[in-house]
Structure 1
Amino acid sequence: MKILLSLAFVLCWSSGFIGAKLGAGSASAITVLMWRFLPPAVVLVAVAAVARGAWRGLTARDLTRQAVIGLLSQSGYLLSVYHAIQLGVSSGTTALIDGVQPLVAGALAGPLLGQYVSGRQWIGLVLGLGGVTLVTLADATAGAGVPRWAYAVPLLGMFSLIAATFLESRSRARVAPQVSLTVHCVTSAVLFSVLAVAAGAAAPPAEGAFWLAVVWLVVLSTVGGYGLYWLLLRRSGVTAVNTLMFLMAPVTAVWGALMFGEPFGVRTALGLAVCLLAVVVVGRGEGGRNTAATAAGDGRDSATAAAGDGRDAGRRWATPEHARR
């Protein structure tokens, strides 16, 4: 099941780049982003009004925290990516900068969450960076007339998503995935609608390509991509989930080759293979670390572990004080 969820996550998250390209020819980025989040926000609010069980027990502080996470993970991340491309930064360079995310997350997971990365996992993370570099190196060149500061924009987006990830990981309240997604989408819908109205770009074009892009982004990228991201984060931990980000650039290249006839050469295939190897290495490193931790014991005998103490294995990494959610 974990492998299937991981595969679905990679496909859904990478689909966002393809959806953005589908809508780029018919509307501005802010228009696409507004209509990417407005329809699912309306639907999710309607569902929440009927199914209120998942919302019980949540405080205003919990919901505010989720709103901040939504601003960082969706609004901040996507705005930076789209803005960087509008400034002239190539998509390859943006993907390469974004590919550093697992290394940064791995370095911060120990001191912030108590989830330390093993030596084998570090080898996998470095391998993953090498694979992403192979895929994007040909495109990672400075464009003519691009200001130097523009290359810091996608870097800000990467840190925005990492900040949201760690903020969610340290949350004390256990928020259901449908609640998180609802709050995140509503927050992003409000922000992008305000920006689109202010820019005079709120009206959607009548072109079929635009609405195809919107449906694509809503179903695959927003509901599928972000929904699976938070689900896997709870089950697998920060390092394991962020390692899957290494696969986004190669898989996006496959999407582009199949849908738009973009070149898919030996370098891309080799990079994809290296990224897949990196994910396997990190996964095995995680398994070895958990086995060692279990053998050493963590103050809970097997009977207690079998009965359960309200904390599943995916929550061990939350904090050094034992899984503060």
Structure 2
Amino acid sequence: MRFLLSAAFVLCWSSGFIGAKLGAGTAPAATLLMWRFLPLAAVLLLVSATAARASWRHLTARDLARQAAVGALSQSGYLFTVYSAIQLGVSSGTTALIDGTQPLVAGALAGPLLRQYVSRRQWLGLCLGLVGVVLVTCADASAGADVSRWAYLVPFLGMSSLVAATFLEGRSRTRVAPSVSMTVHCATSAVLFTALAAGTGTLRPPAAPSFWVAVCWLVTLSTFGGYGLYWLILRRFGVTEVNTLMFLMAPVTALWGAAMFGEPFGPQTAAGLAVGLAAVVLVRRGAGPSAAGPAGNRPPRARGRTSGDPLVRPRAGDRRLRGVGRPGR
């Protein structure tokens, strides 16, 4: 089951970069994202008001505000920068690989924020992944002479936004049903992108069928598939697991983009992607069975959501881990 969830997550998350490329030539990013989330949020709110009302009863205004903030960071901020980078000419594969530097930032912050610690071998793998990012980005910048160099910084902003959302969610003590979090996140994005489209005068969708093909693609594969599986894997297996899988988005997206759009895929790009894959293997091998401690002497569960992750090492003496014991969501 873990392998199937991981494979589905990689494919569905990668499809978001392809969907963004499909819609990039038909409408501005704000228009595409508004029409992606506006109908979706309306449907989810209707379902929540009828079939899923019980999931909302124990939530406070503070819980909902936190989820809205998570949605603003993980959907609105992240997606707007990704779409903007692709519209500026950055290839989908390079955008995916730049987003793949997320494990480095998350690994550096996981210790002080979540008391989850990364081994030395895992750090070596994460740094190796950064080398792959540099190789592919340089190759793409050389091939795309008409792309401004500053455009390659835009995906880094989106990656930072997603990292912030991950830790904001990770520090929450309240159990929120996936259907509720998905509804709040999508409703938040619908409001923000509608306001942005109205402010820029881009509310009206284009008549081109390709625009609506891109919207359907993004709603089905990217939102329900990629975004939903992101939080599911995060809650079941931990932050290091889901961030390690981010390194696999780049080769999948680069091959997909080369086959579908003819994006550049030369020897340097292939070398960079191979380095990224090697980084994934190294990080996974750095997670030994002893990380969780011997049977009967395992540390308490960290905030009830990372106990199944063999890649992290919570400190048993940490006061914040005592007495929580809540099952992972």
Same fold (TM over 0.5): yes
Shift in alpha-carbon separation, 1:119–1:234, aligned structure 2, 3 A: same
For the residues of structure 1 that align with 2:56 and 2:136, how far apart are their CA atoms?
43
Structure 2 equivalent of residue 313 of structure 1: 307
Question: What SS is found at the alignment partner of 1:204?
Answer: coil
Structure 1 position 164 matched with structure 2 position 165: yes
AA aligned to 1:20 is A
1:37–1:222: 8 Å Cα contact kept in structure 2?
A: no
Query: Is 1:132–1:249's contact at 8 Å kept on the other side of the alignment?
Result: no
State how far apart, in whole Å, the 1-side matches of 2:77 and 2:241 are. 23
Other-structure match for 1:185: 186
* Residue 215 of structure 1, CA deviation: 0.4
Partner in structure 1 of residue 4 of structure 2: 4
Aligned length: 316
Query: 1:139 aligns to what SS in structure 2?
Result: helix
- Residue range with higher mean Cα deviation, 86-95 or 196-205: 86-95
- Partner Cα separation in structure 2 for residue 123 and residue 114 of structure 1: 20
Partner residue of 2:30?
30
Checking the alignment, whether the CA contact within 8 Å between 1:97 and 1:154 is kept in structure 2 is: yes
**Is it true that 1:297 corresponds to 2:291 in the alignment?**
no
For normalisation by structure 1, the TM-score amounts to: 0.86
In structure 2, the residue matched to 1:46 is 46
CA contact (8 A) 2:93 2:251 kept: no
The aligned amino acid for 2:202 is A
Once the two structures are superposed, the pairs formed by residues 1-325 of structure 1 within 5 Å of their partners are 1-50=1-50, 51-86=52-87, 94-141=95-142, 146=148, 148=150, 152-291=153-292, 293-294=293-294, 297-298=297-298, 313-314=307-308, 320=318, 321-322=320-321
- CA–CA separation in structure 1 for the residues paired with 2:256 and 2:85: 21
Cα deviation for residue 271 of structure 1 reads 3.7
Amino acid at match of 2:73: L
Q: Tell me the distance in 2 between the aligned counterparts of 1:103 and 1:312.
A: 18
Distance (whole Å) between structure 2 residues aligned to residue 314 and residue 269 of structure 1: 33
Q: Where do 5+ consecutive residues of structure 2 fail to align?
A: none
- CA drift of 1:118 comes to 0.5
Q: Provide the C-alpha distance between the structure 2 equivalents of 1:6 and 1:155, rounded to a whole number of angstroms.
A: 23
Q: Which runs of 5+ in 1 are unaligned?
A: none
Amino acid at match of 1:44: L
- Tell me how far apart the structure 2 counterparts of residues 84 and 173 of structure 1 sit (CA, whole Å): 35
Q: What is the percent sequence identity of the aligned residues?
A: 68
Kept in 2, the 8 Å contact 1:131–1:272? The answer is: yes
1:145, 1:220 → 2: CA distance? Answer: 28
- State the one-letter code of the partner of 1:46: L
